[in-house]
Structure 1
Amino acid sequence: MLALNDVIEEIRNFSEKAGLFDKRILVMFSGGKDSSLALYLLKEADLDVSALTFFHRWSWRETLRWAMKFTKKLGVEHFLVDVTDGLLGEAVGRKGPVCINCKKVMLWNAKWFALNNGFDVLAKGDNANDKIIGALLDQCKTDIRLCEIPRIGIPTFRPLIKYTAEEVEKLADGAGIRPYRMYEHARRRQWREGCPLQYIDKEELVKPELMDLAYRVNYEVSKIARKRKVRVSVRVPSFEIMCWNCDDETLDEIRAAIEKFR
């Protein structure tokens, strides 16, 4: 069984060998369990870390507030950057959902934010279940935890990349990290929340009105999901309901709640 202190010590030893104690590290921090754990571990390992959170017009405000409280408690400098305009430029007119476009905007902005503000390394909360351990990291000549991928142009530190999602979950629980949940259905059975724009129907042309609809509908059903402790999201504009463990009464309440948006 992984011990939290052992993981912190391992990160400390790796960082010393890699020369990271002389670097300023910027953690791409969404406020989810993975990035929260990565930030926590690097801070506990005595590295010079700051957090960078991107948000846009359709981001969940509840999770953003939780993220701000978390970094304040850690005593970590926290930068907030609004990427609404960049996301609109990348996503509008393309087919949904917008996640791949959003990630492109965020990674590009993170790179330049880091370089323009004196940071030497980007850090992310990717774990062993994430696809990034595949083709891109095959380019790494050394340990995959610290890799300077040419397409990014800045060294990227992934302290969790050798740990499975299940191990990350246990480590985060051990550290007392309990992010705010919107009770989204998400794409996987694991807690993998993001933002409501991921529920725009595939092959649908994205436009601001559809992005607004995705936010409003899913914010409304999140209230029901939280109250009933189930996980619910609604695709738009099809209004397909996705739910883990919903009974008929819950589904009826959800249908009634979204009827006004049709």
Structure 2
Amino acid sequence: MLSEIIKEIKQFAKNTGLYEKKILLMFSGGKDSSLALYIMKKAGLDVSALTFFHRWSWREPMLWAMDFTKKLGVEHYLVDITEGLLKNSIGKKGPICIHCKKVMMRNAYWFAKINGFEVLAKGDNANDKIIGALLDQWNGDIRLSEIPRIGIPIFRPLIRYTAEEVEKLAEEAGIKPYRMYEYGRRRQWREGCPLQYIDRFEIIKPEYFDLAYEVNYKISKLARKYKVRMSVRVPSLDLMCHGCNEKILKEAEEIIRRFKNVATRKNKK
């Protein structure tokens, strides 16, 4: 199936003139964007990777992503969006990912324009269509959408394939991203960064950033140990777990209890 998709992308690129374009993929290092990068590179497209990070980004997955692009022979850019994320989210109502996506998209647009990239690419799959509703309004082939409001064509090579199909294709390609064993925000296992666990519709405060990172880093280590999926919402410190038994839950609750004690001491001061 993978070879057929690469062949299909080659034909699509030939028909749409993508072989004459410099393409910049917004690359998180997750399974979707890694597979998209793999397919585009194998199809012979002139593609580079762009990874956004901030002060609270997971370091382990980023190191895996850097090694992946190196092995593929793909130019890889890293851009720190900490300042923009803080400026655009503090004091606003969550979920924080809405604000972060705006910062990333704006930065990706200008990075592409300044550095001579003519097309942006994303690893969206068919399950992401509702998120990319503006792109899906394009009357042509939604794999390559040209929406004036965005200002640059968006190429999505995986948009016709479901999350389950992407999972199988990534396995066929031998793509195994580093897992933090997060709970994930959606029905499919979608990892990201610890800030996604700031409680939805909470007014975002600076202290939530450090807390979200610290408690979820500890919980992720426990989740990796037992190969289950766990994350903690902040500031509520509610535990989310998939596959946990009583023993694991007890250990997780002990970790959370320590953070609650610290929060209590700070409030007393």
Task: Name the TM-score, length of structure 2 as normaliser.
Answer: 0.94
In the alignment, does 2:162 pair up with 1:173? no
Is 2:207 the partner of 1:209? yes
Partner Cα distance (1:219, 1:134) in 2: 30
The answer to whether 1:102 aligns with 2:100 is: yes
Between 46-55 and 144-153, the greater mean CA deviation after superposition: 144-153
Partner of 2:224: 226
Amino acid at match of 2:36: A
What is the aligned partner in structure 2 of residue 259 from structure 1?
A: 257
> CA 1:193–1:134 in 2, change beyond 3 Å: closer, same or farther?
closer
Name the aligned partner's letter for residue 169 of structure 2: L
Provide structure 2 residue ranges, at least 5 long, that are not aligned to the other structure.
Answer: 261-269
Question: Is there any run of 5+ residues in structure 1 with no aligned partner, and where?
Answer: none
C-alpha distance in 2 between matches for 1:135 and 1:29: 20
Alignment correspondent of 1:15: 13
Asked whether the 8 Å contact 2:129–2:159 carries over to 1, the reply is no
Structure 1 residue 188 displacement after superposition: 2.3
Deviation, structure 1 residue 37: 0.3
In the aligned structure 2, how far is the partner of 1:19 from the partner of 1:203? 43
Any residues of structure 2 matched to 1:191-206 within 5 Å, and which?
191-206=189-204
Alignment of 1:28-177 (within 5 A): 28-132=26-130, 135-177=133-175
Q: What is the CA–CA distance in structure 2 between the aligned matches of 1:161 and 1:132, rounded to whole Å?
A: 11
Distance 1:88 1:144, change over 3 A: same
CA distance in 2, matches of 1:233, 1:122: 31
Which residue identity is paired with 1:72?
Answer: K
Moved more, 106-115 or 133-142: 133-142
Contact residue 126 and residue 132 of structure 1 kept, 8 A: no
Offset of residue 138 of structure 1: 4.3
| Post-superposition CA distance 1:215-244 (Å, at most 9, x none) | 000000000000001000001111110000
User: Which deviates the most, 176-185 or 193-202?
Assistant: 193-202
- Distance in 2 of aligned mates of 1:117 and 1:55: 19
Q: Paired residue for 1:249?
A: 247
Higher mean C-alpha displacement, 99-108 vs 134-143? 134-143
Aligned residues: 260
RMSD: 1.1
Structure 1 distance, partners of 2:101, 2:217, is 22
